[in-house]
Amino acid sequence: MHPTRTGAAIVLDTLESLGVETVFGYPGGAIMPLYDALYDHRMRHVLVRHEAAAIFAASGYARSTGRTGVCIATSGPGATNLVTGIVDAMMDNVPLVALTGQVRTTVMGTDAFQEVDVAAITHAVTKRNVVVRSIDRIEPAIRAAFRLASGPRPGPVLVDLPTDVLRAVSESVAQIHVDHERTERKPLADPRSLDAAVSALQGAKRPVLIVGGGARWSGATAVFRAVASRIGAPIAATLHGLGCAHHDDPAFLGMLGMHGWKRANLAVANADVIVALGMRFDDRVTGDPAKFAPNAHTIIHADIDASEFNKVVRAQIPLHGDLRETLVALDHRLARVTLPSFADWRAQACAQDEQLPRDDARDEHLSATDFLDALLAALPADAIVTTDVGQHQMWAAQRVRANHPQHFLTSGGLGSMGFGLPAAIGAQMAHPDRMVVAIVGDGGFQMSMAELATLRRHELPVKIVLLDNRNLGMVRQWQELFYNARYSATSLPDNPEFTTIARAYGIEARIVDHASAIGGAVARLLESPGPMLLHCACYPHENVWPIIPSGKSVDDLLEAIPA
Amino acid sequence: MRTVTATDGRMLARIIHLAHRFGCTYTKVASERNGAAYHMELAFAGPGDALRRLDAHITKLLDDDGETME
């Protein structure tokens, strides 16, 4: 008699054979067979309190490791609650596999209880998705999902699993092949284009390197640093490129774009050659594309995805290929030529605005930026910082001292509030011995606050820094600047006692509300052995400076409220 | 005119959604199934940059379609 396995057991065995140790999920009717199989399986399952947190946690796991994250939800509302996280992963190129339960195949299409066509819903926002209609297709579908999710340009893949397929029994002997995630089919940049890039650099007077999230996903951090050192040009980073250059590299100008450092934006504006590496010229980076890098006669754009070329900004030299391989090839070529010295240009570009502009009037209140300056300076070098979305996110991005792109995790393309805490949970599960800090605002935290229970259950020592300005601060700032200070639906004077809530979940909580208490509060936070919430009661009207208004250029940069 | 061969029969819908997203319209759509594959003939109208972007996206989608999931 042959051993038998259910479809659900095949799912778990296949995941395990692919190296998956941890999954994040929430059970429900159609996915119950999979949860029944989990009951006595080695797979570690993290029960969250909302499916959106499951996929954000899987995203934090993936972003902090480079490995594919896995989340599980049931059919209907469970599946639809994943959609924001799926889009988030699509926009930020995060390798994720979402497993959803589905009603049994015999009732699909009949509007059965908790039936939704999640494959149709997510068709435009996944790399691929599939409804698995027979038990023999489970393993091939999951293996294909992992290959697709992890490369060449990573992203989310959804596998929809009808409940009868999960319950079905296979009599075939299990044949699980160890098939680690492949990174195949990577294109290599055209040698002539690489030669042209070298020539452009040889003729350059004011080159600037811009590094983006592609460096993270291609594992190009080390070779990027080598190439950047060889060229000697100033370096700017996109939000997802932070950490690719060492934060204290004297050539590093900081983040580029709407809330980037003025010197980074000015350097790009004055550059004659731009070397854009694994970035997609997001509108938050370029502002008005017609005014982006107006003095650059040559833009060299390296990307794995050919559809990114000339999408927003025209590149004279596209380098289509895996970024790491492209940089290795570029490094070999650069080693054989002599580049002009860009030392004077680098010094000029880096000399400007060594301090970020900030609001002065704070009365006796706590400044969020003062707090972040102290916190980020005190973190261990290998700490992982996650953020939510809004003012605190930009303040953190301006200041973070990331030494590696996997040290700073944030929702960039989609800008999903509620990301910070669950992403920290995922990162902490992947890195139990490292410090993980979730920097969140009072708006976003209240979208995922129930995950305090997940912290408690798994004894995850995540440090939550809640920058509470009793406002949806970024929207409030835009209302102040661009909507005649008409503060529509952005005030949160009725925020709860966050420390009381945290303690109700069994989590240590403290409050800091004055500048003189910052040092002690940071020290207490970092010394705490377990999870902790630090509620920072901040000055409510502090703004993020500088700002280049949407669709404008560095010429329109603001460093304070216009007089 | 672009000829597309895909294993995922829903590819046609995805391409048409993309075309509209990019500000293009389709001027011809023809599709037939042949064995496990769908053969499509598609023609679009729209701004040159958008058509080039659409073409690049179709290529990317077809690359991912190379993985057999069903």
Distance CA A390, CA A387 (A): 9
- CB contacts, 8 Å: A145 with chain B: 69
pLDDT grade, residue A151 (50/70/90)?
confident
Across the A/B interface, how many CB contacts are shorter than 8 Å?
Answer: 47
pLDDT (0 to 100) of residue A177? 54
> Is the CB of B53 less than 8 angstroms away from the CB of A311?
yes
Say how many C-beta atoms besides its own lie within 10 A of residue A465's C-beta. Answer: 29
Chain B: give the shortest CA distance to residue A242, in Å: 27
Peptide bond into A546 cis (omega under 30): yes
**Which residue on chain B is closest to A142 by alpha carbon?**
B69
Considering chain A, what percentage of its residues have pLDDT values greater than 90? 93
Q: What is the mean pLDDT of residues A468-482?
A: 97
Select the residue of B18, B57, B67 nearest A148 (Cβ to Cβ).
B67
From residue A83, alpha-carbon distances to A23, A116, A121, B27 in Å are: 17, 12, 8, 32
Segment A9-24 shows an average pLDDT of 97
Residue A181 binned pLDDT confidence (cut-offs 50, 70, 90): very low
* pLDDT confidence of residue A1: 55
Q: How confident is the model at residue A2 (pLDDT cuts 50, 70, 90)?
A: low
A144 and B65 in contact by Cβ < 8 A? no
Residue B21 lies in a domain: yes
Determine the structural domain holding residue B38 and report its residue range. Answer: 1-43
A interface test, pick of B51, B69, B70 with most A CB neighbours within 10 Å: B69
Q: What is the pLDDT of residue A358?
A: 86
Q: Strand B2-6: give its sheet, edge to edge.
A: B2-6, B37-45, B25-34
**In chain A, what residues touch B62 (CB-CB under 8 Å)?**
none
For tokens 């009949």, name the residue.
A110
Q: Is the pLDDT of residue B55 over 80?
A: yes
Mark yes or no for CB contact B70/A311 under 8 Å: no
What digits encode the pLDDT tens for the residues A85-116?
999 999 999 999 999 999 999 999 999 999 99
For position A175, what pLDDT does the model report?
56
Chain A residue nearest residue B9, CA to CA: A130
> Tokens representing A446?
């209240």
Residues A163 and A101: beta-carbon distance below 8 Å: yes
Tell if the pTM clears 0.90, that is, is over it.
yes
CB contact under 8 A, B69 and A147: no
Instruction: Calculate how close chain B gets to A130, using CA atoms only, in Å.
Output: 7
Q: What is the mean pLDDT of residues A257-284?
A: 96
SS (H, E, C) A2-38: CCCEEHHHHHHHHHHHCCCCEEEECCCCCCHHHHHHH
The mean per-residue pLDDT over the stretch A253-276 comes to 97
Which residue in chain B has the smallest CA separation from A308?
B53
d(CA A106, CA A101): 14
Task: Flag whether pLDDT at A186 surpasses 90.
Answer: no
Structure tokens at A495: 């925020």
Could you state, in order of their start, the residue ranges of all structural domains in chain A? Answer: 5-170, 191-351, 368-544
Q: In the sheet where A436-441 sits, what is the strand order? A: A408-409, A384-387, A436-441, A463-468, A532-537, A508-512
- Say how many domains are in chain B: 1
Of B14, B53, B69, the CB nearest to A124: B14
The answer to whether domain A5-170 and domain A368-544 are alike in fold is: yes
More confident residue, A494 or A3: A494
pLDDT above 70 for A178: no
Coil, helix or strand at residue A110: coil
Closest CA to A271 of A309, A324, A319, A231: A231
In whole angstroms, what is the distance from residue A467 CA to residue A439 CA? 7
B14 within some domain: yes
Looking at residue A180, its pLDDT comes to 47
Q: For residue B67, what pLDDT band results from cuts at 50, 70 and 90?
A: confident
* CATH code of the domain occupying A368-544: 3.40.50.970
In terms of Cα–Cα distance, which of A514, A259, A509, A526 is closest to A375? A526
Tracing tokens 């998956």 back to the chain, one arrives at A20
List the structure tokens of A508.
């240590």
Tokens linked to A112: 């059965």
CA distance B27 to chain A (A): 21
Residue B68 has pLDDT above 90, yes or no: no
Assess if residue B60 is contained within a domain: no
**What's the helix, strand, coil split of chain A in %, to 5?**
40, 15, 40
Structure tokens at A64: 């902090």
Mean confidence (pLDDT) of chain A:
95
Q: Within the 15-34 window of chain B, which residues sit less than 8 Å (CB to CB) from chain A?
A: 17-18
Please check whether residue B49 lies inside any domain of the structure: no
Min Cα separation B57/chain A (Å): 6
> Averaged over A28-56, what is the pLDDT?
97
Q: Is the pLDDT of residue A193 over 90?
A: yes
Given a cut of 50, is residue A182 above it in pLDDT? no
Do A238 and A260 meet the contact criterion of CB atoms below 8 Å apart?
no
Q: Which helix (H) or strand (E) holds A364?
A: none
CB-CB contact of A274 with A312 (8 Å)? no
Class of domain A5-170: alpha beta
Q: What is the 3-state secondary structure (H, E, C) of A149-203?
A: HHCCCCCEEEEEEEHHHHHCEECCCCCCCCCCCCCCCCCCCCHHHHHHHHHHHHC
**Chain A residues contacting B, CB < 8 Å?**
119-120, 123-124, 127-128, 130-133, 137, 140-141, 144-145, 147-148, 185, 305-307, 309-311
Q: Which CATH superfamily is domain A191-351 in?
A: TPP-binding domain (3.40.50.1220)
The kind and range of the H/E element at A252 are strand A252-255
Confidence of residue A184 (pLDDT cuts 50, 70, 90): low
